[in-house]
Structure 1
Amino acid sequence: MKAASQSAVFGRRKEPHTVIIARGNEIRHFTVRPWAAAAAGSALAAVAIGYLLATSYLVLRDDLIGAATARQARMQHAYEDRISALRAQVDRITSRQLLDQQLMETKVSELLERQSQLSQRNGRLGPILDKAAASETAEPVPAGKTDERAEISATPGLPLAYAAADATAVRPFSFWSTRSAEPDDESRADRADKLFVAINKSLRSIEDDQAQRIDALADNAYQTAGAITDALEGAGLPVAADFGKSGVGGPLVTLDNPMAFDSKVKELDEALDTLDRLKKEARKLPLANPAAGRSISSTFGVRTDPLIGTPALHSGMDFRAPYGSPARATAAGTVTKAGWNGGYGRMVEIDHGGGFTTRYAHLSKTLVAPDQKVVVGDEVGEVGSSGRSTGPHLHYEVRRDGEALDPLRFIKTGKKLGQYL
């Protein structure tokens, strides 16, 4: 009953699978259980799958190994390319840094050379500017500008600028040699370059100011010498210098040429020499007023003689002055006479060289002696009425080689040249 119930499925009997094996007269049979069949099928399937997998592995192994090898080669090539690119970048940065360093060193050398030139110019300009100041030809320095000598003497004080340049420009090179960060280094290089440009501009400004100052001093010296020459020639007085009368010419020398500065300095020196020579010659002439502030009572030329009332030549000019007023020398010279001289009364005569002499007559007292040296403005006597005179006054004469000249012409010329002498 139990076996029959197990074989019945939905009321039908399920017969087990029976395998019959016949061999000759021998017949064998055995029953195959379902689980045994499933196990055998699974084993066969596993063997088949394993065989297929092994076969596939053996077939595809070479392809897999080749693919892995190719991938590794590609990765190696990529790393090598990256390393080459980095090396090339490092070489470019190093080369650029070396070029920048050479450029900075060149700029520093140029600035040092220009500083040396300015220092040499200071040594050359110092005596000439002192000479110009002594001649009182230097123009007033405009407000907001320093004096040229102050600028030149301050020129050697550029080490502060150079120190700034060194701190900003040269020092980054030590960082460039150990670092490859470009943005910060480029900003340092830009700042250094701007600083060099500013220093160069400052030096150029100083050089231009020097050139302009030299030109202004030379022009002023030439103009002053021309004014002195014109005034002396206009008054008919002798001028030994041939100022402005010779031809001009010469090769063109541009302002950027190093010879330009030397040429300007030489021109200024020549202009100052010419001016000094003219001033010395002009100072030898009796151009001052012997009785400044006193009115003229009688001029040079023909007049009615105050004693006899007939026309006569008045060889000098008379200054109305009270008794005891000073009579002053009108130029430097040597006293040749000091004492009584006929109608002149007490008289002082001074030799100024070049054939020029002056006489101071009708004095109440003489204050100098023969062979005594005097300079312009020295008191040589006191006004009086000695000799042929009608009252206290100063009789003043100017003579050249013994010939009497109009003193008023000299006095007027002296007034014109007073600002220059």
Structure 2
Amino acid sequence: MTGRHQTLDPSDPIFISYRQNDGTAITAELAWILRTAGIPVWRDRDDLPPGDTEERLEQAIAAGISGGILVVTPDVVNSRVVRMVEAPHLIELHQRHQNFVLGIANSVQNVESRTDYDAPDRLLARRPGQLSGVDQNPATREGLKALTRGLVWHRVASLRERVENREQTFNLSLQTRNTPQVYDRTGAELDIRLRPSGHERLPNAEGLHDLKDTIGLLPDAVTRSGAHRLCIRGGGHLSVGFAVGAALPSSRVGKMVVIDQKGVDWESQSESNLHDMTKVQILDEGKNQSAIPLGRPSVAIYIDLLPQRSDTAFSRFLEESRDFIVAWRHISNLDNSLIDPKDAGRIASEIAAHIRAISNENNNAQTHILLRCPFPLALLVGRLTNTLRCVVYEWDDSDPIEPGGDYRARYVPTLKVRASASDGAIEEVLI
């Protein structure tokens, strides 16, 4: 099997080897963290076709992998496939190929209830110390995040030459609605995929927590690659697009292009600005003198850029938030036609300027952002909100849970976003 894998593509997936009996939960959590950070994953339950275990592994290896993770649990000692097939093969690839990355997620503890760092050699039938140089982390949430961080940095370093040869362009693929599989990868530097949601409209809450824990890696990943330009392809929930844009502010990455599902470019500008020949208008605005905010004041802005007005959910939001929203603004394009992607950068710049203005006019208020716009604009607006505190919403028209409830569409608070936050642009998951 080894001889069939002679070349390595750093954008290929990571293979996860584990014992199903006691390693399934750890592997599932690790796989989602990796996918959300942008690293495709080979995992038997998700990606390998039916058939004999060893044959399925060979198919995965033949398709190409860039690294492997050994999930070491107490019962892995009883897995012939892990000990005799997967682990030896992954270790050999790591030894033979400088760019083949290998990591260990270790759930085994010693008598002092601490991670037993000697367990991988012992349980996998390796000589003592053979795996001492492999990046090894405990199989806790923090340990899995640390393991993911190291894999992202390794991936980006391995792709620097490719980025340079592509006119210093970093390619990022983003999807929040697809069911992630290894076959969904695009060959981009990072392929961000979130857990699929069982809700018709709203994103998966656990997937948003994964994104909160990994989104802080994005700006450093782009700058470490040497890129001067960022190209994003994909689609999904607008709140996620806004947050990813906020994580990649114009102060870090000068030029961003979003390519929509039709292959059309939506190109950003580098700063928020109100132009003389405006592309958007204030359709309506108001203040609420009776609001009594607790702490920092809050304002709202409805970004309504799709053809044909749809104000029901926004009207409901104003009714239900009168206790804390001190001012609001309804922004729309100048007519009811579809937006020309050529105007996207300018429109995003003007919208960001309106967001900044209503916040500044109300004592640096937190801005509640209700989006009704094409997905690329959510990204382009988000990246121009540096220093602003934002709460981003998702639109939901599902039926109320309780009989006799309000059947009107509503906006659901989803993410608290601040581009300048030290731990990443997502400060809190609200859904």
TM-score category of the 2 structures, normalised to the smaller one: under 0.3
Larger radius of gyration between Structure 1 and Structure 2: 1
- TM-score (norm. length: structure 1): 0.22
Higher relative contact order (CA closer than 8 Å, sequence separation 6+): 2
TM-score of the aligned structures, taking structure 2 as reference length: 0.22
Query: Which structure is higher in helix share?
Result: 1
